[in-house]
Chains A and B, each alone.
Chain A
């Protein structure tokens, strides 16, 4: 595996160029969110586009665009809405889907195989193809522009059920047997013994759900049309469509919308990739 010097140079130059392509739009976004409009356009023709403004250039602090963005639109409200939406789905989704996954992994009951087949089959249904009748249903239920309407339709998740089932299949039965002998009820066994020992799969599912729903666009767009119910992904468009368009504010708002994802990926990426590769190799 010896490499010549030229080979090494070619490798690192290639890697660096690709890095520039992948990283610079992100850096441009971050850096521009700290500049004023004049600086953004002035710097665009040089490498300065990817460097933060000098402290001497900044008027009103590095975060003036952020302050203005939050003043111009109720960004805080959008973020809170997004958090309620995603966390609501995560909490209820973890309970409902883990229970279903546990049922399919542990208990023998009539039609168990049939239900597993149905659940896996629903994975193929593209959500995009049902959002219209789903909207009509939620409308009839009177749930338009409510958190209920945002959250409830997406609590049950076939993919999550499948992940939980796979995990619980490998869960050591002996622990549950021991608890049963001690007189613990099935519900008790599940919530007191199985759940606390299954943190990895709960983390994986929670992260997958967070990423999917924090980034959700179509459903919140349709169901949360009222301004007070908008999620961050819907609210972002305001900065793009309503003049005057301030590039600095746009970049600040985009950065704000990305921060939660950045946090999740920085600290919990391991679980996410684990979960997805797990299913990838099993399929």
Chain B
């Protein structure tokens, strides 16, 4: 309020000056006045900008950047939650321990296995679903809603629901398999099947979401490209390869990277369905970090693993960006 008052006073002043002086003089003075006003206006714009931006910046600084730095710092210490006042710097000890930690290694490979299977399968399923219903078919909205429906449930809900479906003794899936004469499977109780069971469920839960994004992408491909291809006598398969796929490239890339990052964050499914078992075959990286930090309270070591985890996620993202960029160049 104050500012606007003073500026209107200035304005009045200017008018008075202009009135009392000759035209030539006014013309002489005007630019200088403008400059001054522009300067204060600039300052005011900056102040307003920071006023609008500050709350978010402060919050991000305290609750995102600071913890990020803290994780980095803790990773070089023996910070133990129960003795927060007795923290000493131990150099790279935590990091060298990672190399000899069999549990970390297992969790790492479990996570990689999960990602390597889930990412291409989910991408393919999502694209397949989108292509199937991107036509003039009857009940299109019904099918789309059906494929999308698992997305509506949270990972926790889905994990609990599928634990009951996977129940080896009286679960829905074994009962249905029994109808076809297939013997009951152990699913989550077997070291060989547990991770695969989680993978099937994860794809089922997530694919509908990416299908929606693909559908939007398909609708953005200009129809005249297809018409041109028709005139050239292109087959369906050729049209798919030369019009549809290139048209979806950016969206597929976006989905590819988001699914990969999400896959590396695997936590809820094993935590609820298997508690990391049997024999640690479903323990994921984030789960291992969580246990080390909250069950064993070893913040120092857990932070070191969190730093490694962040580096892995960043590396994967960067490698994917580079690979896909090269492809685009060819």
Would B153 and A26 count as touching, CB distance under 8 A? Answer: yes
Q: Once the chains are docked, how many angstroms separate the CA of A109 from the CA of B150? A: 45
- Chain A residue contacts of B49, Cβ below 8 A: 103, 106-109, 112
B170 and A130 contact, CB distance less than 8 A = no
A246 to B: closest C-beta gap in Å: 11
B155 touches A215 (CB 8 A): yes
Select one of B65, B142, B164 contacting A122, CB under 8 A.
B65
Residues A45 and B175 in contact in the complex (CB < 8 Å), given A156-B60, A218-B267, A262-B152: yes
A109 adjacent to B152 (CB under 8 Å): no
Give the size range of B's interface with the partner. Answer: 35 or more
Determine how close the nearest CB of chain B comes to the CB of A127; give it in whole angstroms: 8
Within A93-141, which residues are at the interface with B (CB < 8 Å)?
Answer: 95-97, 99-100, 102-104, 106-110, 112, 115, 118-119, 122, 124-126, 128-137
Which single member of B1, B63, B254, B261 contacts A134 (CB below 8 Å)? B63
- B70 neighbours in A (Cβ, 8 Å): 130, 133, 136-137
Which of A28, A128, A276, A281 lies in contact with B286, CB distance below 8 A?
A: A128
Q: Are A217 and B155 in contact (CB under 8 A)?
A: yes
Contacts of A18 in B (CB 8 A): 129, 132, 143, 146-147
A44 within 8 A of B: yes
Provide the main secondary structure of the chain B interface. helix
Are A277 and B217 closer than 8 Å at their CB atoms?
yes
Q: A116 to chain B: closest CB distance in Å?
A: 10
Q: Which residues does chain A contribute within 8 Å of B84, judged by CB atoms?
A: 136
Whether B250 pairs with A283 at a CB distance below 8 angstroms is yes
Tell me, in angstroms, the Cα distance from A152 to B62 when the chains sit together: 10
Contact of B268 among A12, A137, A217, A277 (CB under 8 A): A217
- B: residues with CB less than 8 A from A are 1, 4, 42, 45-53, 55-57, 59-60, 62-68, 70-71, 74, 81, 84, 129, 132-133, 137, 142-143, 146-157, 160-165, 170, 172, 175, 178-179, 204, 208, 212-213, 216-217, 220, 250-251, 253-255, 261, 264-265, 267-268, 272, 286, 289-290, 293-294, 299, 302-303, 306-307, 309-310, 313-314, 317
10 closest Cβ contacts across the A-B interface?
Answer: A107-B49, A100-B56, A103-B52, A156-B59, A133-B70, A109-B49, A109-B46, A215-B154, A153-B63, A277-B216
Interface residues in chain A, defined as those with a beta carbon under 8 Å from any beta carbon in chain B: 11-12, 14-15, 18-19, 21-23, 25-26, 28-29, 41, 44-45, 49, 95-97, 99-100, 102-104, 106-110, 112, 115, 118-119, 122, 124-126, 128-137, 152-156, 158, 161, 183, 185-187, 190, 214-215, 217-218, 222, 233, 236-237, 239-240, 247, 250-251, 254, 257-258, 261-262, 265, 273, 276-277, 280-281, 283
Interface pairs (23), CB distance under 8 Å: A18-B129, A18-B143, A19-B142, A99-B56, A106-B49, A109-B46, A115-B57, A125-B68, A130-B68, A136-B81, A136-B299, A156-B56, A215-B156, A217-B156, A218-B268, A233-B157, A239-B160, A240-B163, A254-B161, A258-B154, A273-B212, A277-B216, A281-B254
